[in-house]
Amino acid sequence: MLFILGPGGFHPLPVTSQHLLTALHPAPPQGRSYPQLKLRCRSLLMAEWEEAAPRYPYRPSLRPHPFMGLNKFTAGRLHQMRSGKSCLRAHPSLNDHDIPTTCPRCDEAPETFEHAILRCPQKEPARTRHLQGVSDISPDAPLWSSSPLLRALAQFISSTATAFPQGIFSRPSSSARSVSSESSNVVAFGHFMWSQES
């Protein structure tokens, strides 16, 4: 039995099973089925997302991105780098307005998503080891739909500590440090991996 608050306290409210069914599953507007309404809602939601983030190059999706199958830490780094709001120096940050945008590893170019993954010369040994099949990170690149390439990218991000927040793990901060198999050991911590100088 349901009760309603009225003058003098709670009063019993007679409810039939038909009332409950109507309250839980209201009839769709005339001429529209639930699948049609669901499709309409999804298309409105997608249009609103695209309008809200016009400069975001990666098309929004109602399905989880394939890289969400990676561990949370790496999937988070990828979301942040794709959105341009990561710990990479060329990405805007709420905390570090005065830090130069130049890559701290090579000091040759701004540390953008593309530079950090594909161009930084200090990461070439790790790139050769992990990213043999990756040459493009654009929104339409095969990388974003290939599980083996995404796992390789995750290994690269972990082994080079790309876009790791400062202070969580020791991140190389000068061009003198290089990620190579001769000069570094891979240290595992849970499911995170990063390079440490020998």
Instruction: Split the chain (198 residues) into runs of 10 and give each run's mean pLDDT.
Output: 64 60 61 83 87 80 90 94 90 72 93 96 96 92 94 96 77 42 38 40
What is the distance between the alpha carbons of residues 50 and 183, in angstroms, rounded to a whole number? Answer: 45
Q: Is the residue at 19 inside a domain?
A: no
* pTM greater than the 0.85 cutoff: no
* Residue 130 confidence (pLDDT): 95
Q: Is the residue at 92 inside a domain?
A: yes
Q: Is the residue at 16 inside a domain?
A: no
Q: What is the number of structural domains in the chain?
A: 1
Burial of 59 (0-12, 13-18, 19+ CB in 10 A): exposed
What is the distance in angstroms between the CA of the first residue and the CA of the last residue of the chain? 71
Q: Is the residue at 29 inside a domain?
A: no
- The answer to whether the CB of 134 falls within 8 A of the CB of 159 is no
Identify the domain containing residue 93 by its residue range.
66-165+182-197
* Residue 168 confidence (pLDDT): 66
SS3 for the chain is CEEEEECCEEEEECCCHHHHHHHHCCCCCCCCCHHHHHHHHHHHHHHHHHHHCCCCCCCCCCCCCHHHHCCHHHHHHHHHHHHCCCCCCCCCCCCCCCCCCECCCCCCCECCHHHHHHHCHHHHHHHHHHCCCCCCCCCCCHHHHCHHHHHHHHHHHHHHCCCCCECCECCCCCCCCCCCCCCEEEEEECCEEEEEEC
What is the distance between the alpha carbons of residues 93 and 101, in angstroms, rounded to a whole number? Answer: 11
Quick one: tokens of 196? 């440490």
* Residue 181 confidence (pLDDT): 37
Q: Is the residue at 140 inside a domain?
A: yes
Q: Is the residue at 74 inside a domain?
A: yes
Q: Is the residue at 59 inside a domain?
A: no
Quick one: tokens of 63? 């399905």
